[in-house]
């Protein structure tokens, strides 16, 4: 039985990943501060399912609390650290920048320090497709430069990758960053489009549709995210002879450090995304068409060749199937 720390265990991705590990018989320590960025009740309901497993232990901690994080790492060693806790949201970062500094920067350095002192065999952490910022070339590849973020959220995620590389280089700490592309599915976040649109359509409210519905997103179903993560966690970065010779790219260097995209490699236009929700619900949406919002990008599109080469897997759940599964969960959850 492996001992695995999952930060953000009451969050959307953290919950699903911890649940997968627990069902496989792994021992999981889940960390979360249960903040009120979105429904605390939803987070607590996720936790209830995790707490049904005897090998799950929950710690209510804030990543930015250095002394508490130090005590956590001093109390137990972990075979893997899966760092998914963060202050999420592109638009929220425009009005609440300090929340991102505390959680995404101070919090991440506390995780890195804990892993360094504990000599953790592998730190896997959440980055984001938002790091590609104003890049025009598509699909986005991990070999591309990501030097032009257009939101503070994206900047903190790029900073996380740089911080991880530094620790990999200085302390030979194996780190892997995962650039997630618009994750969706059951138990998803209420601030994300699928949840907001489903809720509004069922309640007869208009939905805000930015860029007049012409945005494109590489929507990635949660089960594909979890499968990718599970496989990547076993691919521990090493320093190869090729790396030592200096044949480096932005995702590979002379350190035990890697970065991967995790996306469905199939961008979907927002208008079609809404049509799929309408079909799954059997109800039409009233659309409030709006221009682009600050911090948004027009399209995301993941090149997952590196992921497939490393793991033999690439996300493949269709948007139609993924939305159907979400709407079924939504109706069941809100009946409970």
DSSP state of 104: I
Alpha-carbon dihedral 102, 105, 106, 109, rounded to 10 degrees = 160
Q: Is 88 helix (H, G, I), strand (E, B) or coil?
A: coil
d(CA 117, CA 115): 6
Whether 78 is catalytic: no
- HSE (CB half, 13 Å, CA atoms) of 269? 7
Residues 6+ apart with CB under 8 A from 329: 185, 186, 187
Which region holds residue 158: left if phi is over 0, alpha if psi is between -120 and 50, else beta?
Answer: alpha
DSSP 292: P
Question: CA-CA distance, 180 to 130, in Å (whole number)?
Answer: 9
Q: Please give the span between the terminal C-alpha atoms of the chain, in angstroms, as a whole number.
A: 34
The β-bridge relationship of strands 183-184 and 220-221 is parallel
38, 153, 257, 301: the catalytic one is 153
Look up residue 249 and give its DSSP letter: B
Taking the CA of residue 296 as centre, how many other CA atoms within 13 Å lie in the half-sphere pointing to its CB?
Answer: 15
Catalytic residues: 153
């Amino acid at each position: 039985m492996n001992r695995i720390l999952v930060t953000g265990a009451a969050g959307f991705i953290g919950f699903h990943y911890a649940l997968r590990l627990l069902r496989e018989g792994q021992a999981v320590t889940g960390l979360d501060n249960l903040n009120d960025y979105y429904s605390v009740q939803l987070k607590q309901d996720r936790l209830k399912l995790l707490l049904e497993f005897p090998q799950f232990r929950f710690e209510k901690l804030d990543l930015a609390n250095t002394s508490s994080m130090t005590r956590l790492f001093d109390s137990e060693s972990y075979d893997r650290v899966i760092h998914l806790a963060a202050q999420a949201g592109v638009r929220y970062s425009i009005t609440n920048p300090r929340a991102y500094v505390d959680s995404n920067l101070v919090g991440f350095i506390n995780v890195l320090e804990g892993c360094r002192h504990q000599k953790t065999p592998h730190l896997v952490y959440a980055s984001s497709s938002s790091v590609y910022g104003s890049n025009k070339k598509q699909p986005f590849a991990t070999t591309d430069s990501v030097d032009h973020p257009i939101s503070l959220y994206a900047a903190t995620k790029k900073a996380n990758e740089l911080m991880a590389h530094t620790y990999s280089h200085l302390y030979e700490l194996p780190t892997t960053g995962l650039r997630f592309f618009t994750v969706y599915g059951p138990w998803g976040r209420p601030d994300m489009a699928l949840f907001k649109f489903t809720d509004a359509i069922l309640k007869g409210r208009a939905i805000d549709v930015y860029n007049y519905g012409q945005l494109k997103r590489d929507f990635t179903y949660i089960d594909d995210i979890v499968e990718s993560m599970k496989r990547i966690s076993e691919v521990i970065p090493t320093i190869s002879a090729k790396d030592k010779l200096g044949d480096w790219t932005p995702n590979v260097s002379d350190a035990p450090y890697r970065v991967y995209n995790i996306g469905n490699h199939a961008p979907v236009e927002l208008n079609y995304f809404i049509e799929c929700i309408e079909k799954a619900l059997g109800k039409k949406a009233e659309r409030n068409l709006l221009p682009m919002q600050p911090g948004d990008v027009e399209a995301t599109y993941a090149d997952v060749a590196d992921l497939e080469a490393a793991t033999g897997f690439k996300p493949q759940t269709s948007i139609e199937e993924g939305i159907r599964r979400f709407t079924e969960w939504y109706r069941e959850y809100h009946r409970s």
